[in-house]
């Protein structure tokens, strides 16, 4: 097509997505520890702004059948807390690769169905939200 035939033509260009969060983004990390013998998870989350801790929380949750569900509950609690704080731009991080992959793809994990639906609904409340995996090394 030459330039003269393109005049007056309307094209819809694909939206370019970037993984770069806005400068005012708050970074949040969530985690969970699970006790199989008690079906109990300890969940926690921490919020940081420019390397400074701005808020944190934790909760014990009963009747948790797996560590993965514990991780998902921790992330969901962090999203709820961020909404309560009025955070508009959030970069969520978790050390649960299966959870992050499930959120970011069409690969859904059956046991997480309801929690993932909650995550999707809560995510719509933010101007910007991302979910990424963080690799944790524990040195003993």
How is the chain split into domains, by residue range? 23-133
Residue 75, pLDDT score: 98
Residue 130, pLDDT score: 95
Q: Please state, in angstroms and rounded to a whole number, the distance separating the CA atoms of residues 61 and 7.
A: 62
Per-residue pLDDT of the chain (140 residues; tens, 9 = 90+): 444 444 444 444 443 345 688 989 999 999 999 999 999 999 999 999 999 999 999 999 999 999 999 999 999 999 999 999 999 999 999 999 999 999 999 788 999 999 999 999 999 999 999 999 998 766 77
Question: How many Cα atoms are found within 13 Å in the side-chain-facing hemisphere of 96?
Answer: 25
Q: Please state, in angstroms and rounded to a whole number, the distance separating the CA atoms of residues 37 and 103.
A: 28
Does the pTM surpass 0.85? The reply is no
**CATH code of domain 23-133:** 3.30.420.10
Helix, strand, coil percentages, rounded to 5, for the chain: 30, 30, 35
Residue 116, pLDDT score: 94
Q: How many CB atoms lie within 10 A of CB 115?
A: 20
């Amino acid at each position: 097509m030459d330039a003269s035939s393109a005049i007056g033509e309307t094209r819809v260009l694909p939206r370019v997505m970037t993984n770069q969060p806005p400068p005012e983004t708050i970074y949040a990390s969530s985690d969970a520890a699970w006790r199989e013998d008690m079906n109990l998870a300890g969940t926690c989350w921490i919020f940081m702004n420019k390397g400074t801790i701005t808020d944190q929380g934790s909760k014990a949750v009963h009747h948790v059948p797996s560590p993965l569900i514990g991780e998902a509950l921790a992330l969901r609690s962090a999203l709820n807390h961020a909404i309560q704080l009025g955070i508009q731009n959030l970069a969520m991080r978790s050390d649960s690769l299966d959870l992050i992959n499930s959120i970011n793809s069409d690969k859904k994990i059956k046991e997480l169905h309801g929690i993932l639906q909650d995550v999707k609904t809560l995510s719509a409340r933010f101007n910007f939200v991302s979910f990424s995996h963080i690799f944790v090394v524990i040195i003993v």
